[in-house]
């Protein structure tokens, strides 16, 4: 069969979002791929230059819509570095719990999208059922279902609602034994194992050079994690271990990336439970909004020449914010906000991983890298 | 439908069919049977069209996750006949759930063209109604209605799955009122239905 | 308790790296302190001249094991002082990641214990600034072949800010539509957002009267 | 009829035969006697001066005798074809209902809930007004009464009932209105009214004929499928071969559709389906051959009677050929292209596979044809392996001392058709269950699985069938140990094979199925 270019166009069930993957195909095997992004590029970095520091959190929620909280926290830590604000201890615990619950919801969204990629529709509905539980918890904290606008520069505006800790513990424990259901559907089905093992190899050194981090990297048998390498928040107070997968000789394949994310859901659930237990002032006390125990006073202006940067462990890799202060209206608005999207760097690498495999493996490989196009196109 | 591009090699008696067609049509009209069939069949086809609205499996941004949540088990849009298909040929509703950038402007118009009549467009979320939080951006169109005629607007960023299902309910009310006429034949006086403001 | 890389070892390693870099002429580096939330972090902050940037990058990659390029940021300072009109910030990292060893056909995962990490294995954060004077076509040497991660970062920087990278293969517009006019790089300060100077836009809630003349047309 | 099929009061074939022969004899008597030979004279007018007489055109009396048998069989065939087609179409409506509801339950949600009630209820308050008034001659008035009556009792005139249907998950109409059953109706009505689009540079003639091929062959399959001992459209001597031949033609239509839509995705989808169906046609035929060999005939009704007959087999084939039943199920799933063998219409990478370019009624018909093929597969499994129209344990239950009498009346009153349908529907539920729990197998793995595993297994099944038929069968019903031994052996083998964890790989934490993508992937081969 002559080689022909297929364009898996912007609207395609394989792309979790809008982007085009041009694939040169020889019969069934993939010979060459070329990603084409930018279908939902909306210039968030340019818009942020016309917004002040609290307004930007709403834009960062909408960067990667599957894990809104992790992205707004990633921005807030960079803003706190810019405005030199000391965050109270209790606020750090509340933030950590919110981030970990959001990480579970993001991985559930990934697992729900990965199932139909390989052909099983009931996984999507099961995962979204559990994700609704997590979104209920975050809705109590932030107010809306998906975009919470929850953190403030200097801490957290509202404390945990009454009875939140008891509900959160119940839901997280129920979720911990729901994971066995997914593993039964995935690990015990030979069809899934045959479809995902040995597909889409990637070696850790090669991944680091290509800029791929997070669960995709840990699938290769290396336990590198920004939360302990460049520590932030109160991960040092809690007892946790980044999950690592024993990959095959030729590198991490789709099955390893799936195993790592399922283990990471368990680690995040235990982290959230520990954060609830070790919360200074107890998880059941309730402070008024804006109480100094949860929100520190933060200056509204960043003078010219000051910069803030923060590396953050997002559910898809390392997300980073670099903010240069001193923008318009006498520094109330940043001069330049630069956003690092992990998936913007992972997609070209994943496209290279597909060469040599079958057309039917493209959704399996692409899906295992958990693409979220909102953050890619910024 | 006398489309001249036909290269049927089979017997092409276009002229005969036209003649016979007109004669029987006149006879039916005269004997009012056409009214009877028209009214009764119209009710059944209207019921059929509004009870099975297949939206396109197109996820642009955050509203796509709310669309998926609406299709999942808690809010189950399939109770109302909403079944997501991934080829535009087999869909009736183009559910636009995100900002339309300049790069995606003509692919989405091509998707709209590929859908067979009668077709409807639901603008879900602020971004597709008016560009949403990105209305100032250099790369975003201010709303889908700059390029595609929109039937139902669902405000919210993102609108809750109940609002999406209520949007489909509004579309069904529109179909029962106006009938499943092709999108270009719809009356101009059709004020856009904005949920929550009546 | 959870194990993290202790600040002391990280600062010691950062000082050693900063000293090593400062020897290259045209490059001076020192260890700065970034505080996010409660944790202070030592960061190797350096700025290099455009000419010595390429040699600095190769030395970092080969000798100092800086194997990860996180982000490349381009900033346009039209009112900045004379030789700092354009600024490119390279955010690099030393991760110390090796392929896990393979014993008798089995991969042994590398479990690094953060509290006992030493020497060249300690993860480090670098932030290198390169300043360019006022030019119509700002350009810097490309590091695409050293860190492949920087490849799409450079494409995006050229696409949005307009800073060119010499020696970069396949430079094309990645985020903007392919038919954008040649010189249009939106993040430069002379371009403004729509309704930028419509200050009274916000008191007229509908704002329909003030829509610009070309509303609705695809620009 | 070579073989007197088992007694069943619902003897449609018999009724229609007697009906046609009675009517033909009467027609023969009513006709005028043979002495009048028909002569037609056309009077003269200005065009032709003298009248035109035409000789005896056709002496109906003797002529009719010669054509009466042909006319009779033609009438009988038409009656039987329409009866079987209506039975098939009506009972097939349960198939989409089972699929939507059962997969909804497996997915923890409700699935479609449209009921006939929604015809007069309108949309949460908005109704079409007094639409019946537009009917001429006052025909609408009775319709108005009926609608108002329905609305007042079960309609939406009750204010409390217009609760928001979005959050009220229990609101889906009354159970006896079968909520969700009419979703298939609504879908088909919508397909019928969609615009017909033919892609500009598609191969128009092939694009139009492909759905016809698929639909025609699928309906032709039902000509040979007996719904009961005396309900069949045609019952040739080798009905099994006829049906299998026709069953195999539809992939040709699928390939035509894929080729004609002039779209890369559909081309790949069409090629994949052609390859997959050829890979699974042969094991399917060999398995069916095994059943025919065991039952001793190629006629489906005789196969079922062999399983039912007191003095013949009296054991269902599933207990005699358990391997054959499993193989038939797998190959049938592949034949009708359902998950896990869904690759030609793979959602994920081929958008919709070979029917991406079809919309409207053509796609609706092909969608229905796909359900018809799955329905035919389920009925065939019921006929070949589950003893067709014999109630489970029919004779043993009837023979019970006290209770036997009631069972006896039940089995005589309930026609064979009911048992066939129950078994077919339950089997379709198994199809849906498999669809809900398995992933999609890659194309090369499907083909490799077909050639490397199913083909040899079906030959083994054929050997077992021949041995059973020739050596073990002695003419009268199977003695009990044969089916029991075979089923037990099959169950033990299945359990052993199902345990596919590789202990050594598990405790060393190696991965049981690490297979290479480049090297052919097959389940159970342990390579890193």
Q: What is the pLDDT of residues D21-40, one digit of tens each?
A: 888 888 877 765 555 556 77
Could you tell me whether strands C164-166 and C139-141 are parallel, antiparallel, or unpaired per DSSP bridges? Answer: parallel
What residues contact D333, with CB distance under 8 A and at least 6 apart?
D340, D341, D377, D431, D434
Domain membership flag for residue B25: yes
Nearest to B47 among D124, D169, D186 (CB): D186
Q: Is B18 on the interface with D (CB under 8 A)?
A: no
Domain membership flag for residue C144: yes
Q: What is the pLDDT of residues D330-367, one digit of tens each?
A: 999 998 888 888 776 666 566 777 888 888 899 999 98
Burial D244-270 (b: 16+ CB within 10 A, else e): bebbbebbebbbbbbbbbebebbbbbb
Domain membership flag for residue B110: yes
Cβ count within 10 A of residue D143: 17
Q: Of D478, D498, D491, D494, give the one whose Cα is nearest residue D317.
A: D478
The answer, yes or no, to whether residue A276 has pLDDT greater than 90, is yes
Q: What is the pLDDT of residues B91-112, one digit of tens each?
A: 999 999 999 999 999 899 999 9
Identify whether residues B170 and B123 lie together within a single domain: yes
What is the domain range of residue A299? 45-341
Q: For residues C180 and D30, which has the higher predicted lDDT (pLDDT)?
A: C180
- Cβ separation A132–B68 shorter than 8 A: no
Cβ count within 10 A of residue C119: 11
Q: What is the pLDDT of residues C181-197, one digit of tens each?
A: 888 899 998 888 887 77
Q: How many domains does chain A have?
A: 1
Distance CA B108, CA B89 (A): 14
Q: How many domains does chain C have?
A: 1
Task: State mean pLDDT over D258-272.
Answer: 85
**Which region among A234-248, C57-71, C99-113, D293-307 has the lowest average model confidence (pLDDT)?**
C99-113
Cβ count within 10 A of residue C16: 17
Q: How confident is the model at residue D513 (pLDDT cuts 50, 70, 90)?
A: very low
Q: What is the pLDDT of residue D465?
A: 94
Distance CA D467, CA D444 (A): 34
**Which region among A9-13, B78-82, C172-176 has the lowest average model confidence (pLDDT)?**
A9-13
Per the prediction, chain C carries an average pLDDT of: 85
Q: What is the pLDDT of residue B100?
A: 92
Q: What is the pLDDT of residue D458?
A: 95
Q: What is the pLDDT of residue A304?
A: 83
Q: For residues A90 and D510, which has the higher predicted lDDT (pLDDT)?
A: A90
Identify whether residues B71 and B29 lie together within a single domain: no
Identify whether residues B92 and B29 lie together within a single domain: no
Domain membership flag for residue B24: yes
Distance CA D39, CA D195 (A): 54
The CATH code of the domain that includes A190 is 1.10.645.10
Q: Is A215 on the interface with D (CB under 8 A)?
A: no
Q: What is the pLDDT of residue D524?
A: 40
Cis peptide before B158 (omega within 30 of 0): yes
- Cβ separation B173–D132 shorter than 8 A: no
Integer CA distances (angstroms), D358 to A290, B114, D216, D346, D361, in order: 59, 11, 17, 15, 9
Domain membership flag for residue A178: yes
Name the phi and psi angles at C106, rounded to 5: -125, 140
Distance CA D50, CA B65 (A): 88
**Which region among A104-118, A337-351, B15-29, D321-335 has the lowest average model confidence (pLDDT)?**
B15-29
Domain membership flag for residue C208: no
- Cβ separation A118–D109 shorter than 8 A: no
Q: What is the pLDDT of residues A24-36, one digit of tens each?
A: 988 778 899 999 9
| Residue A245 β-bridge partners | none
Domain membership flag for residue A360: no
Identify whether residues B67 and B44 lie together within a single domain: no
The answer, yes or no, to whether residue B196 has pLDDT greater than 60, is no
Identify whether residues B40 and B68 lie together within a single domain: no
Domain membership flag for residue B9: no
- Cβ separation C4–A50 shorter than 8 A: no
Identify whether residues B120 and B105 lie together within a single domain: yes
Domain membership flag for residue A372: no
Residue A29, judged by CB atoms within 10 A of its CB (0-12, 13-18, 19+), counts as middle
- Cβ separation C177–B136 shorter than 8 A: no
Distance CA B92, CA B89 (A): 8
Q: State ipTM.
A: 0.88
Q: Is the dihedral of CA C192, C194, C198, C203 positive or negative?
A: negative
Identify whether residues B57 and B114 lie together within a single domain: yes
Domain membership flag for residue C195: no
Q: What is the pLDDT of residues D98-153, one digit of tens each?
A: 999 999 989 888 888 888 877 887 777 778 888 888 888 888 899 989 888 887 77
What is the domain range of residue B143? 53-194
Return the ∠ at Cα C153 (arms to C149 and C157), rounded to 5°: 165
Q: What is the pLDDT of residue B186?
A: 67
Q: Of C113, B118, B137, B185, give the one whose Cα is nearest residue D195.
A: B118
Distance from CA of B69 to the nearest CA of A (A): 7
Distance CA C43, CA C34 (A): 7
Identify whether residues B129 and B157 lie together within a single domain: yes
- Cβ separation B89–D188 shorter than 8 A: no
Which pair of structure tokens corresponds to residue C60? 């970092």
What are the chain C neighbours of B146 within 8 Å (beta carbons)? 216-218
Integer CA distances (angstroms), B48 to A250, B173, B180, B182, D184, in order: 54, 13, 10, 15, 9
H or E, element range at A314 = strand A307-314
Nearest residue of C to residue A96, measured between CA atoms: C37
Which residue numbers of A belong to the known binding site? 45, 64, 339, 372
Q: What is the pLDDT of residue D397?
A: 81
Specify whether the CB–CB gap between D292 and D299 falls below 8 A.
no
Identify whether residues B115 and B180 lie together within a single domain: yes
Q: Of C161, C165, C121, C130, give the one whose Cα is nearest residue C147.
A: C165
Q: How many domains does chain B have?
A: 2
Cis peptide before D340 (omega within 30 of 0): yes
What is the domain range of residue C75? 7-185
Domain membership flag for residue B3: no
Q: Is C153 on the interface with A (CB under 8 A)?
A: yes
- Name the one residue in this structure whose structure tokens are 């005798």: D65
Specify whether the CB–CB gap between D114 and D183 falls below 8 A.
yes
- Name the one residue in this structure whose structure tokens are 């081929």: D350
What are the chain A neighbours of C149 within 8 Å (beta carbons)? 209-212, 345
Which residue numbers of A belong to the known binding site for Mg(2+)? 45, 339
Rounded to 10°, the helix D60-92/D416-437 angle is 40
The radius of gyration of chain C's CA atoms, rounded to the nearest angstrom, is 22
Identify whether residues B38 and B89 lie together within a single domain: no
Domain membership flag for residue A312: yes
Three-state DSSP at D435 gives: helix
Q: Is D190 on the interface with B (CB under 8 A)?
A: yes
Distance CA C78, CA A368 (A): 43
Q: Which chains touch D (3 or more CB pairs under 8 A)?
A: A, B, C
Q: What is the pLDDT of residue D523?
A: 42
Domain membership flag for residue B37: yes
The CATH code of the domain that includes C21 is 3.30.460.80
Domain membership flag for residue B188: yes
Task: State mean pLDDT over C166-186.
Answer: 90
Q: What is the pLDDT of residue B1?
A: 41
Q: What is the pLDDT of residues B8-67, one digit of tens each?
A: 545 556 777 777 888 888 888 888 888 888 888 888 999 999 889 999 988 899 899 999
Biggest alpha carbon distance in chain D? 111
H or E, element range at C40 = strand C39-48
Residue B20, judged by CB atoms within 10 A of its CB (0-12, 13-18, 19+), counts as exposed
What residues contact D57, with CB distance under 8 A and at least 6 apart?
D38, D40
- Name the one residue in this structure whose structure tokens are 């179909």: B175
Domain membership flag for residue B2: no
pTM of the complete model: 0.89
The radius of gyration of chain D's CA atoms, rounded to the nearest angstrom, is 29
Specify whether the CB–CB gap between B84 and D232 falls below 8 A.
no
Last residue of a domain, one of B6, B32, B50: B50
- Cβ separation D356–B78 shorter than 8 A: no
Distance from CA of C106 to the nearest CA of D (A): 7
- Cβ separation C176–B136 shorter than 8 A: no
Q: What is the pLDDT of residue A344?
A: 94
The CATH code of the domain that includes B140 is 3.40.50.12280
Specify whether the CB–CB gap between A301 and A330 falls below 8 A.
yes
Q: Is B66 on the interface with A (CB under 8 A)?
A: yes
Identify whether residues B143 and B182 lie together within a single domain: yes
Domain membership flag for residue A88: yes
Domain membership flag for residue C192: no
What are the chain B neighbours of D139 within 8 Å (beta carbons)? 36
Q: Of B155, B120, B151, B125, give the one whose Cα is nearest residue B140.
A: B125
Distance CA D427, CA A355 (A): 41
Q: Is the dihedral of CA C180, C184, C185, C189 positive or negative?
A: negative
Distance CA A23, CA A18 (A): 16
What are the chain C neighbours of A81 within 8 Å (beta carbons)? 34-36
Task: State mean pLDDT over A277-288.
Answer: 89
Identify whether residues B35 and B99 lie together within a single domain: no
């Amino acid at each position: 069969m002559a080689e022909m270019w297929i364009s898996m166009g912007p609207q395609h069930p394989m792309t979790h979002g809008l982007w085009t993957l041009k694939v040169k195909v020889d019969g069934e095997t993939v010979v060459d791929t070329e990603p084409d992004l930018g279908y939902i590029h909306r210039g968030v970095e340019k818009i942020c230059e016309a917004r002040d520091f609290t307004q930007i959190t709403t834009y960062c929620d909408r960067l990667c819509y599957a894990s809104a909280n992790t992205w707004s926290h990633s921005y807030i830590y960079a803003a706190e570095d810019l405005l030199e604000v000391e965050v109270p201890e209790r606020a750090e615990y509340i933030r950590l719990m919110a981030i970990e619950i959001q990480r579970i919801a993001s991985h559930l969204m990934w697992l729900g999208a990965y199932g139909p990629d390989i052909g099983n529709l009931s996984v999507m509905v099961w995962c979204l059922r559990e994700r609704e539980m997590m979104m209920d918890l975050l809705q109590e904290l932030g107010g809306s279902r998906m975009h919470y606008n929850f953190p403030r520069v200097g801490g957290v505006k509202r404390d945990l609602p009454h009875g939140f800790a008891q509900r959160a513990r119940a839901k997280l424990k129920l979720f911990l034994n729901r994971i066995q259901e997914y593993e039964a559907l995935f690990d015990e089905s030979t069809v899934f194992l045959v479809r995902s093992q040995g597909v889409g190899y990637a070696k850790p050194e090669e991944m680091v050079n290509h800029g791929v981090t997070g669960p995709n990297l840990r699938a290769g048998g290396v336990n590198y994690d920004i939360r302990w390498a460049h520590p932030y928040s109160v991960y040092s107070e809690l007892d946790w271990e980044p999950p690592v997968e024993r990959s095959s000789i030729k590198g991490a394949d789709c099955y390893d990336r799936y195993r790592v994310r399922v283990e990471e859901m368990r680690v995040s659930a235990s982290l959230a439970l520990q954060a609830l237990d070790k919360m200074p002032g107890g998880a059941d006390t309730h402070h008024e909004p804006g109480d100094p125990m949860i929100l520190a006073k933060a200056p509204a202006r960043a003078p010219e020449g000051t910069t803030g940067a923060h590396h953050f462990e997002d559910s898809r890799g390392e997300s980073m914010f670099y903010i240069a202060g001193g923008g318009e209206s006498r520094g109330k608005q940043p001069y330049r906000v630069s956003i690092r999207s992990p998936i913007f760097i992972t997609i070209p690498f994943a496209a290279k991983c597909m060469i040599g495999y079958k057309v039917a493996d493209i959704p399996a490989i692409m899906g295992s890298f958990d693409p979220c196009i909102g953050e890619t196109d910024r | 439908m006398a489309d001249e591009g036909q290269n049927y090699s089979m017997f092409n008696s276009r002229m005969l069919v036209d003649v016979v067609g007109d004669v029987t049509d006149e006879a039916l009209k005269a004997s009012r049977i056409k009214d009877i069939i028209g009214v009764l069949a119209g009710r059944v086809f209207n019921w059929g069209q509004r009870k099975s609205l297949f939206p396109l499996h197109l996820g642009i941004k955050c509203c796509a996750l709310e669309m998926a949540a609406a299709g999942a088990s808690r809010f189950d849009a399939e109770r109302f006949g909403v079944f997501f298909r991934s080829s535009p040929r087999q869909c009736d509703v183009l559910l636009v759930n995100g900002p339309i950038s300049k790069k995606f402007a003509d692919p989405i118009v091509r998707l709209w063209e590929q859908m067979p009549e009668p077709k409807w467009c639901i603008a879900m979320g602020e971004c597709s109604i008016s560009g949403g939080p990105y209305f100032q951006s250099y790369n975003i169109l201010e709303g889908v209605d700059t390029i595609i005629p929109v039937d139902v607007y669902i405000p919210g960023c993102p609108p809750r799955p109940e609002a999406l299902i209520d949007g489909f309910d509004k579309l069904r009310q529109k179909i029962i009122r106006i009938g499943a006429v092709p999108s270009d034949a719809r009356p101009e006086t059709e004020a856009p239905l904005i949920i929550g403001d009546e | 308790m959870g194990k993290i890389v202790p600040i002391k070892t990280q600062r010691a390693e950062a000082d050693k790296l900063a000293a090593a870099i400062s020897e290259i002429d045209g490059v001076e580096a020192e260890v700065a302190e970034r505080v996010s939330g409660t944790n202070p972090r030592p960061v190797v902050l350096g700025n290099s001249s455009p000419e010595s940037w390429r040699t600095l990058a190769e030395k970092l990659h080969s000798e100092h094991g800086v194997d990860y390029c996180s982000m490349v940021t381009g900033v346009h300072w039209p009112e900045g002082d004379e030789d700092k009109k354009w600024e490119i910030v390279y955010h690099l990292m030393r991760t110390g990641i090796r392929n896990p060893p393979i014993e008798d056909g089995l991969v042994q995962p590398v479990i690094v214990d953060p509290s006992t990490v030493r020497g060249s294995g300690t993860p480090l954060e670098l932030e290198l600034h390169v300043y360019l004077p006022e030019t119509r076509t700002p350009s810097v040497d490309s590091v695409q072949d050293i860190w492949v991660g920087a490849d799409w970062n450079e494409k995006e920087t050229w696409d949005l800010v307009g800073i060119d990278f010499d020696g970069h293969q396949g430079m094309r517009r990645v985020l903007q539509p392919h038919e954008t006019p040649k010189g249009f790089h939106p993040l430069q300060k002379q371009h403004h957002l729509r309704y930028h100077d419509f200050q009274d836009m916000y008191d007229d809630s509908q704002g329909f009267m003030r829509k610009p003349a070309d509303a609705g047309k695809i620009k | 009829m070579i073989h007197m099929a088992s007694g069943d009061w619902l003897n449609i074939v018999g009724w229609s035969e007697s009906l046609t022969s009675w009517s033909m004899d009467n027609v023969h008597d009513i006709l005028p006697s043979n002495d009048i030979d028909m002569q037609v004279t056309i009077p003269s007018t200005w065009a032709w001066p003298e009248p035109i007489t035409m000789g005896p055109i056709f002496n109906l009396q003797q002529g009719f005798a010669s054509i009466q048998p042909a006319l009779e069989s033609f009438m009988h065939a038409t009656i039987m074809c329409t009866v079987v087609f209506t039975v098939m179409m009506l009972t097939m409506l349960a198939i989409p209902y089972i699929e939507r509801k059962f997969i909804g339950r497996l997915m923890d949600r409700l699935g479609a809930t449209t009921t006939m009630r929604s015809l007069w209820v309108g949309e949460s308050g908005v109704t079409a007004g007094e639409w019946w008034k537009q009917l001429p001659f006052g025909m609408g008035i009775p319709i108005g009464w009926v609608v108002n009556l329905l609305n007042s009792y079960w309609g939406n005139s009750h204010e409390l009932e217009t609760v928001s249907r979005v959050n009220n998950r229990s609101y889906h109409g009354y159970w006896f209105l079968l909520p969700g059953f009419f979703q298939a109706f609504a879908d088909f009505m919508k397909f019928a009214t969609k615009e017909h689009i033919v892609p500009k540079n598609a191969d128009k003639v092939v694009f139009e004929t492909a759905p016809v091929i698929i639909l025609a062959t699928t309906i032709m399959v039902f000509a040979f499928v007996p719904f009961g001992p005396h309900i069949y459209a045609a019952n040739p001597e080798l009905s099994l071969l006829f049906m299998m031949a026709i069953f195999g033609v539809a992939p040709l239509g699928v390939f035509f559709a894929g080729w004609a839509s002039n779209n890369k995705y559909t081309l790949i989808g069409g090629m994949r389906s052609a390859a997959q169906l050829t890979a699974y046609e042969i094991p399917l035929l060999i398995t069916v051959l095994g059943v025919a060999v065991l039952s001793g005939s190629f006629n489906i009704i005789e196969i079922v009677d062999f399983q039912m007959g007191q003095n013949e087999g009296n054991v269902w084939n599933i207990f005699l050929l358990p391997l054959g039943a499993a193989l038939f199920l797998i190959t049938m799933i592949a034949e009708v292209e359902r998950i896990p063998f869904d690759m030609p219409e793979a959602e994920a990478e081929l958008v919709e596979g070979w029917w991406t370019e079809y919309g409207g009624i053509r796609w609706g018909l092909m969608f229905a044809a796909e359900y018809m093929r799955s329905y035919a597969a389920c009925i065939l499994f019921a006929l070949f392996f589950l003893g067709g129209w014999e109630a489970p344990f029919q004779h043993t239950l009837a023979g019970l001392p006290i209770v036997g009498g009631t069972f006896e009346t039940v089995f005589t009153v309930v026609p064979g058709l009911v048992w066939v349908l129950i078994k077919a529907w339950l089997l379709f539920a198994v199809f849906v269950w498999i669809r809900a729990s398995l992933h999609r197998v890659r194309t090369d793995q499907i083909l490799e699985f077909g050639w490397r595993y199913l083909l040899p297994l079906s030959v083994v099944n054929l050997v077992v069938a021949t041995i059973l038929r020739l050596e073990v069968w002695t003419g009268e019903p199977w003695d009990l140990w044969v089916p029991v031994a075979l089923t037990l052996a099959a169950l033990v083998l299945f359990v052993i094979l199902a345990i596919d964890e590789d202990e050594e790989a598990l405790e060393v934490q190696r991965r049981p199925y690490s297979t290479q993508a480049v090297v052919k992937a097959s389940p159970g081969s342990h390579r890193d």
